[in-house]
Amino acid sequence: MNALLIYPNIPDTFWSFTYALRFIGKKSAFPPLGLLTVAALLPAHWNKRLVDLNVDSLTDNDLLWADIAFISGMAVQRKSAKQIINRCLAMNLKVVAGGPLFTAEPDKFAEVDHLVLDEAETTLPAFLSDLQNGQPEKIYRASGFCNLLDTPLPSWDLIKTKRYASMSIQFSRGCPFNCEFCNVTALFGHRPRIKTPQQVIAELDRIYASGWRSSIFFVDDNFIGNKAYLKTHLLPALIKWRKDKKGCVFFTEASINLADDPQLLDLMTTAGFDTVFIGIESPDETSLTECGKNQNKNRDLLESIKIIHRSGMQVMGGFIVGFDSDSPSIFQRQIDFIQNSGIVTAMVGMLQAPPGTRLFDRLSRESRVVNTFSGDNVDGTTNIIPKMGIEKLLDGYQAIMKQVYSPGNYYRRVRVLLKELKAPEIRQPVSLGRLLSFFRSAFRLGILGNERFHYWQLMLWTLIRKPRLMSVAITLSIYGHHYRKICERYIY
């Protein structure tokens, strides 16, 4: 059996880092970890080929070679996924689809031959058994969640790692919190399920053995969902693993209560974590109450962010406008908060209601879900009718983006971050690629770019005040170029 695994194209978004990748000679930010794991679950005697449309093209020869095609993706990849499905069906190639996009909206993909939904560890074996017996069903669903002890090592041999800016690894699934707009718990539950340190180390060893010496993204939706286990098992194992390793640094996603645990912060930075994405959402307590973001309430959010920065981890933040309780003042409040926080990478989006969430159910009952969920938080769209009115929301959203990603405000925010940020204990080695990225940034941003004054001002300031953070300053300058390009495309 020839199995073709296809990963749809991700459109240009903040998270695609399309314009930043050109500075470092990479084609995509992250590999398709889900499909690589699915590949490892397929029978060992099958022939497997993976085509990631973000780094390669899907040819007719690929489709003619295959006996069956497996497609997975997220909501933001909907358009590309539809195109792939149509190409496969036009060539009479059986299509098996799964992953977040298809699990959340299976009724939108009636043309797919087989929908293997929820977690593949649970539903894929049943499909494969029925396929072998010649009686595969249309839809496979799980009645519960899988045990991550059953998750195999991803099939890293199916991709060329050097095409990517970062590798990916998963330690846990699930989140203990219950934010109204988030579909993580709908997909993976409230109880964090975890892999053993031995599993994680085995995956890291495989990645390291491939020659990888750069960033590794722990893709957990809330890495600190089980803090006790992290502190006693995984983080000590990561610290031990690092002792004879060079170059690899980690980043992940977590909740703001990370700031409340000095021991956890210290262990994470010692283990090599230098960046964490946190859903801040709003500086308004009423909005936080409305969406169930209780872990963000009754605290000084700015101080919590500074605590994390002082530990040595940079905070990337998610922000939302368009809650029912938001008044027109929220737009300036968001701008002020972002500027004062030093959160350079501020992912601001209008509220959307993903299918499967409590928000989607509530707004559906109120007849306020009107469009398809795009999955993109910066494309200037929403699938709901906001209480303040769509025109007011869109105008306010555009005002935020114009302000926070203007060169002056952006570079000013970088300096706010660098003043607080503790220099990381683990440095990535100087490489040809890193040197080239500096020279490209100096030319494209420092000579050709409209931000050249701000760029050189930051470089000089960093060289004098924070020389050990020069690579961070260069990286964030490159990110800023990407963010402005996205804003120009969708917002300005």
Question: HEC states along the chain?
Answer: CEEEEEECCCCCCCCCCHHHHHHHCCCECCCCHHHHHHHHHCCCCCEEEEEECCCCCCCHHHHHHCCEEEEECCHHHHHHHHHHHHHHHHCCCEEEEECHHHHHCHHHCCCCCEEECCCHHHHHHHHHHHHHCCCCCCEECCCCCCCHHHCCCCCHHHCCHHHECCEEECCEECCCCCCCCCCHHHHHCCCCEECCHHHHHHHHHHHHHCCCCCEEEECCCCCCCCHHHHHHHHHHHHHHHHCCCCCCEEEEEECHHHHHCHHHHHHHHHHCEEEEEEEEECCCHHHHHHHCCHHHCCCCHHHHHHHHHHHCCEEEEEEEECCCCCCCCHHHHHHHHHHHHCCCCEEEEECCCCCCCHHHHHHHHCCCECCCCCCCCCCCCCCECCCCCHHHHHHHHHHHHHHHCCHHHHHHHHHHHHHHCCCCCCCCCCCHHHHHHHHHHHHHHHHHCCCHHHHHHHHHHHHHHCHHHHHHHHHHHHHHHHHHHHHHHHCC
What's residue 4's pLDDT?
Answer: 98
Q: State pLDDT tens for residues 117-148.
A: 999 999 999 999 999 999 999 999 999 999 99
What's residue 430's pLDDT?
Answer: 63
Q: State pLDDT tens for residues 19-29.
A: 999 999 999 99
What's residue 46's pLDDT?
Answer: 98
pLDDT < 70: residue spans in the chain: 426-430, 432
What's residue 308's pLDDT?
Answer: 98
Q: pTM for the full model?
A: 0.95
